[in-house]
A and B are shown apart, each in its own frame.
Chain A
Amino acid sequence: MNTRPEQRRSWPDRLPGKLLLGSLLPLLVLLLWWLGIRSGTAVVPTFGAVLEVLLHPFRTPPDLSSRSLAFSLLMTLLRLALGFSLGVATAVPLGFWAGRSRIVDRVLYPIVQVSRPVNPVVLLPVVTVLFGLSSVASVAVGPLDAWRHDVWDQVQLAMLFILWWGAFFPVFMSTVHGVRSVRTAYLDTMALLGATGSQVLRKVLLPHALPSIAQGMRIAMGVSWLVLLAAEIFPGTRSGIGYMLCTACKTSDYQYTFAAVIVIGLIGLLIDVLFQRLEQRAGRWQAAER
Chain B
Amino acid sequence: MRAFTIMAGLMVLLVAVPRHGDGDAPEALPKLRVGHVGHDHQIALSVAAERGRALERPYGVWLKVLKPQEAYVLYDLGRPVARITLVRVGGGAKMPSALAQGRIEIGLGGLGPVLKFVDAGAPLKVVAPLNTDGDALVIRSGLKASDWAGFVRLVKSSPKPLRIGYKDPFANAYLIFSRALDEEQIRHGREHAAPDGRPVQVITVDLQDDENMLPAMERGIVDGVVANEPAPSLLVQNKVGSWVADLSDLPPLGKWRNHPCCVVAASDKALKQKRDIIKSFLKVIAAGSDVVLRDKESALTVEAKWTGNAPEVAWSSVSHVVYVGRAGEAWIAAVDVWLDMLSSSQAFQKDLKGRSALDIRSVAFDLAPLNEALAEMPARSR
Contact = CB atoms under 8 A, between A and B. Distances in A.
A146 B121 contact: no
Interface string B171-209: 000000000000000000011110001000000011111
Contact of B205 (A150, A236, A250): A236
Interface string B202-238: 0001111100100110011110000000000000000
Given A125-B215, A150-B193, A252 B93 contact: yes
Contacts of A40: 121
A238 B206 CA distance: 7
The secondary structure that dominates the B interface is loop
A238 B348 CA distance: 21
Interface stretch (B31-39, B96-104, B289-297): B96-104
A246 B122 CA distance: 19
A43 B221 contact: no
B325 interface: no
B215 A129 contact: yes
B207 A236 contact: yes
Given A129-B215, A132-B221, A149-B192, A63 B349 contact: yes
B206 A128 contact: no
A43 B101 contact: yes
A150 B207 contact: no
Interface in B88-145: 92-93, 96-97, 100-101, 113, 116-117, 119-124
Interface string A142-184: 0000100110010000000000000000000000000000000
Nearest to B97: A43
B97 A249 contact: yes
A200 B265 CA distance: 72
Contacts of A250: 92-93, 113, 168-170
A247 B169 contact: yes
Contact of A252 (B119, B123, B212, B345): B119
A84 interface: no
A132 B212 CA distance: 12
Nearest to B206: A238
B205 A252 contact: no
B333 to A, nearest CB: 25
B100 A43 contact: yes
Contacts of B122: 41-43, 252
Nearest to B114: A252
A36 to B, nearest CB: 15
A65 interface: yes
B117 A236 contact: no
Contact of B349 (A62, A234, A236, A237): A62
Interface residues of B, number: 42
A251 interface: yes
B273 interface: no
A40 B122 CA distance: 10
Nearest to A254: B120
A252 B97 contact: yes
A203 B376 CA distance: 90
B73 to A, nearest CB: 31
B157 interface: no
A91 interface: no
A128 B165 CA distance: 14
A235 interface: yes
B219 A132 contact: yes
Nearest to B119: A252
Contact of A146 (B197, B205, B206): B197
A221 interface: no
Most chain A CB atoms below 10 A, which of B124, B192, B208, B222? B208
B193 A237 contact: no
Nearest to A39: B121
A105 B108 CA distance: 57
A129 B205 contact: no
Contacts of A62: 346, 349
Contacts of A251: 93, 116, 169-170
Contacts of B205: 133, 235-236
Nearest to B112: A251
B349 A42 contact: no
A253 interface: yes
Given A40-B121, A150-B192, A235-B221, A252 B96 contact: yes
Interface in A218-258: 233-238, 246-247, 249-254
Most chain B CB atoms below 10 A, which of A62, A236, A238, A249? A236
B117 A252 contact: yes
Given A128-B215, A250-B92, 13 more contacts: A42-B120, A42-B121, A42-B123, A42-B124, A43-B100, A62-B346, A63-B347, A63-B349, A129-B219, A150-B192, A236-B206, A252-B119, A253-B120
Interface of B: 92-93, 96-97, 100-101, 113, 116-117, 119-124, 163, 165, 168-170, 190-193, 197, 205-209, 212, 215-216, 219-222, 345-349
17 contacts: A41-B122, A42-B122, A43-B122, A63-B346, A63-B349, A65-B169, A128-B219, A129-B215, A235-B206, A235-B212, A235-B216, A236-B206, A251-B116, A251-B169, A252-B96, A252-B120, A254-B120
- Which 3 A-B pairs have CB atoms at the shortest separation, nearest pair first? A42-B122, A65-B169, A42-B100
